[in-house]
């Protein structure tokens, strides 16, 4: 993997703010190199992880609640269908946490079943004020993997111990990227301080057309500092898509080739220059594919993004 | 430690109602003989408890002890814990309750169960009816299949509810020791069901308050602390408190 020239990246990315967006901000590449095993994987928009220059598909997959199905084999197989649909539609990043019950184990099951350990961009977290290293080892066991692409300090829990631990793992070559997460707009000040002072590769925050606070300071800062941004709760845990269900799409959705509210929301997110990858969770393979299709075709420009937020703001 | 204060109750809802109710479906299908046996054992215990007699008291306690052991292993350990890590912290409570019930069954002066016609008895009997008859089948009203029924003896919620009923129907010193575990479970279950938007959460919540209120009334009237006299032990009918 090539090392990034961070300064060039930032210069090249141009002025910050909501400068006109189009499909060009995310690059459509011919085919996912890592997913070469599937001949049917479509082209998707990919975003750059500034700290390395690596490009990853602009939509990922969350696992909170949806993948916590315990030992229920019927539901485990349904999860495997979701992961399969996700990969086949061009997805790579799957996010989980030790907080999510059996989700990590279920992801391990799905990857085994699909023989897809080499297709995933594995993203997990450390969530303890105690033995972080022990928890990470357990997490790896559950995923049936040895090393992760990205580990994040979940909700900044045990940050003083866990962040140095992750940096150490990265320095030793046992981890590719280090990140931190929050959600629901919590602990934003702490997160900002860490973004300013630590050499983070990723941050994960809540962002959607209704929860836009991060647009004010955090997203511009991430851009300036070359920190990739993962977006959690893109559909507000599903309440957004539920509230919008049955509402007709605005006319301009057709210009973006958005077939659903879910896609419109994801396009809104992906189009932000700071956003690397929203990670919607789903139990439905069709939704997984639909969400990935949001990372194809045209993205809204600044004006259209505002329109999307305005329309959704009125409806919910 | 401020990081832990950020969490709300909803942050700890780790699973969907669909996954939760499928736990009962799977358990009822795989372990149907044990589930049925535990339910019947519970019914026998309830039948004995409603009689105003002094025979069968130890049997009730032994059956309840076995039931708590089974609910702890059969449901909590095998099915619920994998989707809810918080259960691991409550699981030892089920072991403690099973042991306590066995100790109560073995001690020289066992508890005495029976209908006494006072408020505590009414609450106790009411809780038994809810646990055995109503709770398992509320799901039908909400459109769930019968196979997902939460039965007393295996599913933790009705087992805890019913046990509160049994204890309120009992007389004898130290019996309140049997209340904390089912009470804690009911609070935990009520919170879980509430964040899952399940109306049945209120049943658990009301049961907790009724039990505490009845227990407090008994305590106030000296029912809790007074040992049974020889005469009372010999003649159940003379029980007046
Ligand atoms: N602090 C943290 O680190 C943190 C906090 C929160 C979340 N996260 C991460 O972020 C991920 C996403 O957040 P989330 O799971 O809370 O909420 P979310 O992704 O905003 O919403 C998930 C819900 O959206 C629905 N959905 C998905 N695709 C859809 C579509 N195409 N059409 C209609 N509905 C759709 C799903 O229902 P169906 O199953 O019916 O599709 C699901 O119930 C989590 O899974 C987790 O990995 C991290």
- CATH number of the domain that A287 lies in? 3.20.20.100
In a domain, A1, yes or no: no
- pLDDT value for B233: 58
Domain assignment of residue B147, given as a range: 12-224
Contacts of B133 (CB under 8 A, 6+ apart): none
Q: How far is CA A282 from CA A76, B72, B168, in A?
A: 13, 31, 45
- pLDDT value for A141: 98
Bridge partner list, A56: A47
Indicate whether A14 pLDDT > 90.
no
Contact state of B19 with A100 under an 8 Å Cβ cutoff: no
Indicate whether A261 pLDDT > 90.
yes
Count of domains in chain A? Answer: 1
Contact state of B79 with A157 under an 8 Å Cβ cutoff: no
In a domain, B136, yes or no: yes
Instruction: Read off the DSSP letter of residue A61.
Output: B
Tally Cβ neighbours within 10 Å of residue A122.
22
Contacts of A10 (CB under 8 A, 6+ apart): A50, A223, A224, A226
In a domain, B241, yes or no: no
In a domain, B3, yes or no: no
Q: Model confidence at B9, in pLDDT bands (50, 70, 90)?
A: confident
Mean per-residue pLDDT of chain B: 89
Rounded to an integer, the average pLDDT of B24-29 is 96
Tally Cβ neighbours within 10 Å of residue A115.
9
- pLDDT value for B222: 75
pLDDT tens-digit map of B151-180 = 999 999 999 999 999 999 998 888 999 999
Count of domains in chain B? Answer: 1
Q: Which residue of A has its CA nearest to B24?
A: A72
Among B12, B3, B6, CA closest to A163:
B3
Indicate whether B238 pLDDT > 80.
no
**Residue B79 is nearest to which of A70, A99, A156, comparing CB atoms?**
A70
> Element (H or E) spanning A176, and its range?
strand A175-181
Do A100 and A68 contact (CB within 8 A), yes or no?
A: yes
Q: Model confidence at A15, in pLDDT bands (50, 70, 90)?
A: very low
SS3 content of chain B, % helix, strand, coil (to 5): 70, 0, 25
Indicate whether A288 pLDDT > 90.
yes
CA torsion, ordered B22, B27, B32, B33, to nearest 10 deg: -170
Domain assignment of residue A155, given as a range: 6-315
Indicate whether A10 pLDDT > 70.
no
Do A107 and A117 contact (CB within 8 A), yes or no?
A: no
- pLDDT value for A29: 34
Q: Model confidence at B221, in pLDDT bands (50, 70, 90)?
A: confident
Indicate whether A4 pLDDT > 60.
no
% pLDDT > 90, chain A: 85
Provide the whole-model pTM.
0.88
- pLDDT value for A33: 36
A279 lines ligand 1 (CB under 6 A): yes
Q: How far apart are the first and last CA of chain A?
A: 43
Mean per-residue pLDDT of chain A: 89
Contact state of A69 with B6 under an 8 Å Cβ cutoff: no
Structure tokens at B146: 């019968």
Residue nearest ligand 1's atom 4 by CA:
A183
Do B73 and B186 contact (CB within 8 A), yes or no?
A: no
Bridge partner list, B171: B112
In a domain, B137, yes or no: yes
The C-alpha atoms of residue A264 and residue A256 are separated, in whole angstroms, by 8
In a domain, A38, yes or no: yes
Tally Cβ neighbours within 10 Å of residue B53.
14
Indicate whether A6 pLDDT > 70.
no
Do A126 and A96 contact (CB within 8 A), yes or no?
A: no
Q: How many residues does chain B have?
A: 241
- pLDDT value for A50: 97
pLDDT tens-digit map of A203-253 = 999 999 999 999 999 999 999 999 999 999 999 999 999 999 999 999 999
**Residue B3 is nearest to which of A71, A74, A157, comparing CB atoms?**
A157
Name the residue with higher pLDDT: A6 or B151. Answer: B151
pLDDT tens-digit map of A120-153 = 999 999 999 999 999 999 999 999 999 999 999 9
């Amino acid at each position: 993997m090539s090392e990034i020239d961070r300064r060039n990246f930032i210069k090249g990315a141009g002025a910050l703010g909501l400068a006109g967006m189009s499909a060009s901000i995310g690059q459509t590449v011919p085919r996912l190199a890592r997913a070469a095993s599937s001949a049917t994987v479509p082209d998707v928009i990919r975003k750059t992880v500034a700290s390395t220059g690596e490009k990853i598909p602009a939509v990922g997959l969350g696992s909170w609640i949806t993948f916590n199905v315990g030992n229920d084999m019927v539901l485990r197989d349904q999860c495997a269908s979701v992961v399969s649909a996700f990969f086949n539609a061009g997805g790579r990043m799957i996010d989980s946490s030790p907080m999510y019950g059996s989700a990590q184990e279920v992801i391990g099951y799905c990857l085994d079943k699909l023989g897809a350990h080499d297709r995933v961009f594995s993203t997990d977290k450390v969530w303890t004020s105690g033995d972080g290293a022990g928890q990470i080892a357990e997490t790896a066991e559950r995923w049936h993997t040895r090393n992760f692409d990205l580990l994040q300090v979940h909700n900044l829990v045990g940050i003083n111990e866990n962040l140095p631990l992750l940096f150490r793992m990265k320095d030793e070559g046992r981890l590719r990227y280090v990140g931190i997460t929050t959600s629901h707009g919590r602990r934003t000040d702490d997160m900002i301080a860490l973004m300013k002072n630590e050499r983070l590769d990723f941050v994960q925050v809540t962002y959607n057309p209704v929860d836009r606070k991060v647009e004010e300071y955090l997203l511009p800062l991430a851009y300036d500092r070359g920190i990739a941004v993962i977006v959690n709760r893109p559909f507000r845990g599903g309440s957004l898509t539920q509230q919008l269900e049955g509402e007709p799409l605005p006319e301009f959705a057709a210009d973006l080739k958005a077939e659903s509210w879910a896609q419109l929301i994801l396009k809104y997110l992906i189009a932000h220059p700071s956003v690397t990858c929203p990670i919607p969770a789903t139990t439905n393979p069709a939704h997984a594919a639909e969400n990935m299709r949001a990372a194809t075709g045209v993205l809204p420009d600044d004006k259209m993004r505002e329109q999307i937020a305005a329309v959704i703001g009125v409806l919910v | 430690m401020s990081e832990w204060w950020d969490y709300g109750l909803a942050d700890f809802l780790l699973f969907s109602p669909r996954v939760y109710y499928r736990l009962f479906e799977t358990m009822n299908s795989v372990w149907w003989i044990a589930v049925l046996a535990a339910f019947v054992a519970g019914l026998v215990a309830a039948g004995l408890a409603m009689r105003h007699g002094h025979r069968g008291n130890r049997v009730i306690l032994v059956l309840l002890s076995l039931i708590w052991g089974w609910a702890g292993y059969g449901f909590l350990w095998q099915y619920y814990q994998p989707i809810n890590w918080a259960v691991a912290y409550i699981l030892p409570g089920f072991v403690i309750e099973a042991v306590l019930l066995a100790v109560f069954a073995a001690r020289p002066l066992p508890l005495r169960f029976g209908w006494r016609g006072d408020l505590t008895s009414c609450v106790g009997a009411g809780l038994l009816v809810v646990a055995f008859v109503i709770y398992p089948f509320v799901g039908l009203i909400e459109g769930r299949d019968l196979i997902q029924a939460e039965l007393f003896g295996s599913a933790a919620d009705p087992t805890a509810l019913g046990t509160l009923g049994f204890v309120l129907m009992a007389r004898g010193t130290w019996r309140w020791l049997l209340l904390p575990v089912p009470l804690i479970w009911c609070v935990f279950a009520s919170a879980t069901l509430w964040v899952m938007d399940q109306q049945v959460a209120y049943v658990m919540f009301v049961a907790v308050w009724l039990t505490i209120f009845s227990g407090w009334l008994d305590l106030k009237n000296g029912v809790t602390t007074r040992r049974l006299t020889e005469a009372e032990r010999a003649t159940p009918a003379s029980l007046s408190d």
